[in-house]
Structure 1
Amino acid sequence: MDQNARSEPDPRSPAKRLKDVEVSVPIVYGTISFWLGKKATETQSHKWTVYVRGATNADLGAVVKRVVFQLHPSFNNPVRAVESPPFELSECGWGEFEIAITLYFHADACDKPLTLFHHLKLYSEDEPGTQSIKKPVVVESYDEIVFPDPSENFFARVKNHPAILSYVSAPLGLHSGRIEEVNEAKEEETKDHPLSQWFKNFSEGDELSKLAAARQQVQGHIVKLRNQLSSMNGQLESVVIECD
């Protein structure tokens, strides 16, 4: 699993930001490639699709404004922008190469784009030497885009969106800590997709639950340390006053 991608807030932004709040967007990016069988030629052996999707196939359009795919320079117009969901493109070819995927966010989310890299696979590593027109080669990666201290407008706009996991740091004592998931009871909605039967199901596996548990533990430690530091500073000020 890739390390979580973090989208840092722009300190120059005048928008009021929510301290100790995180908006997390689980995403999946990857490729699906089909062998063309009898229709295959030396230069057109596979048809493939590269994409970025929500982990539950939910629409990412509330957060992502557009996605730019950087293909191999041998393709016509190798830099291609997709301005609306679904964020994907399809091509035909014969070779494997690395694809750069750059996500641009809406202005109230983040001013900085995020670039991911994915290697297009046309041939199965699990079944080398065998190809089927019915069973594609699917390679996907799971990640989370994290927006710390989001603007009030952004948080209000997306907090109930099915593609979003929002976390708020609750007030903690020195020896306890937990993170409340804002959309804990939110019903997941998914989008139908012609390739969805081949998508890996990250939502029902351990991926989301493990990440949520790890995030809760880390955030709990952070807030606990903040409270300890605040208490120590208060004690230090008291000692200084008594000495004076």
Structure 2
Amino acid sequence: MPHNSSARKHGGEHSDGGGSASKIQRVKAGRVSEDNEKKSSSKRLKDVEISVPIVYGTISFWLGKKANEYHSHKWTVYVRGATNEDLGVVIKRVVFTLHPSFSNPTRAVESPPFELSESGWGEFEIVITIHFHNDVCDKQLDLYHHLKLYPEDESGTQSTKKPVVVETYDEMVFSEPSESFFARVQNHPAVIVPRLPASFNLPPPESIDDMNERKRGDTNDHPLSQWFMNFSEADELLKLAAARQQVQAHIARIKRQMIVKFLGLDDRG
């Protein structure tokens, strides 16, 4: 935060150095209203869901010798594809709401990469508001992220080369998508779409203003990409399998305890 903000706060999910802290959510983003459906002349696909994995978070660097009382860190807040693809095919704009002590605290980013860089000395909650294209969803999606500047272990030495990274993996789920939306993203690497019957004919995808001018997969060459956390479906499946094994082992222990207790009661009888 700038110099006129309150004292820095600690808390929330965080990570020391180059490591990343993460949590997983699944957000239902809604669907297109009937009014927008009529405007786009696109029908909705019943019993179909489109999933868009995203990651949002912050990367903060200590300024070292360049740090002063009011500017100790430089940081970037962002929304990116889970594997760093261009999200402009789904997202129209992202609005970042910073601490009110910043000049112009509400900042809108109209095209990818959807990110904002600033400098300051304090931690605070950033509101990230995602606006979608008209044929995707009428409602905005509000996300909340706590900016973390300082490592978890405050006794440790800060580094100008190793940032503090905090990221959250999320999945935006769109139920009953419009045909135009489905057609536009069905082969896009950032979007998970189901297979439709071979006999089903989709209309040609509708173009989005300036879409051709955007660099597809723009965040793949992002200067901060070395610090991005890798999220993959395979990793999540491994985590789920490990959790299932732990649950099964716990159930087996409880069953053994119940059997032993039951047999003990019988022996006393």
Settle same-fold status: TM greater than 0.5: yes
Q: Which amino acid aligns with 1:68?
A: V
**2:15 paired residue number:** none
**1:149 paired residue number:** 176
Distance 1:86 1:128, change over 3 A: farther
**2:230 paired residue number:** 201
**1:90 paired residue number:** 117
Unaligned 5+ segments in structure 2 are 1-22, 198-216, 241-269
Unaligned 5+ segments in structure 1 are 171-188, 212-244
Tell me if structure 2 keeps the 8 A contact 1:20–1:168.
Answer: no
Task: Report the Cα offset of residue 129 of structure 1.
Answer: 3.5
The answer to whether residue 138 in structure 2 is matched with residue 116 in structure 1 is no
Tell me if structure 1 keeps the 8 A contact 2:32–2:136.
Answer: no
Counterpart-to-counterpart distance in 2, 1:77 and 1:118:
19
Distance 1:155 1:210, change over 3 A: farther
Higher strand share: 1
CA displacement 1:114-136 (0-9 Å, x = unmatched):
01000000011156442000100
Counterpart-to-counterpart distance in 2, 1:210 and 1:60:
26
Counterpart-to-counterpart distance in 2, 1:62 and 1:163:
9
The answer to whether residue 57 in structure 2 is matched with residue 5 in structure 1 is no
**1:178 paired residue number:** none
Task: Report the Cα offset of residue 204 of structure 1.
Answer: 6.8
Task: Report the Cα offset of residue 72 of structure 1.
Answer: 0.3
TM-score, normalization: structure 2? 0.68
CA displacement 1:58-91 (0-9 Å, x = unmatched):
0000000000000000100000000000000100
Tell me if structure 2 keeps the 8 A contact 1:27–1:142.
Answer: yes
Counterpart-to-counterpart distance in 2, 1:120 and 1:10:
32
**2:84 paired residue number:** 57
Task: Determine which structure has more spread, i.e. the larger CA radius of gyration.
Answer: 2
Counterpart-to-counterpart distance in 2, 1:98 and 1:11:
31
Task: Report the Cα offset of residue 93 of structure 1.
Answer: 0.1
Tell me if structure 2 keeps the 8 A contact 1:26–1:145.
Answer: yes
**1:37 paired residue number:** 64
Counterpart-to-counterpart distance in 2, 1:208 and 1:26:
15
Counterpart-to-counterpart distance in 1, 2:49 and 2:233:
22
Tell me if structure 2 keeps the 8 A contact 1:6–1:147.
Answer: yes
Distance 1:35 1:143, change over 3 A: same
Tell me if structure 2 keeps the 8 A contact 1:98–1:120.
Answer: yes
**2:132 paired residue number:** 105
TM-score, normalization: structure 1? 0.74
Counting aligned pairs with the same residue, the percent is: 72
Task: Report the Cα offset of residue 163 of structure 1.
Answer: 0.6
Worse-superposed segment, 4-13 or 14-23 = 4-13
Tell me if structure 2 keeps the 8 A contact 1:96–1:119.
Answer: yes
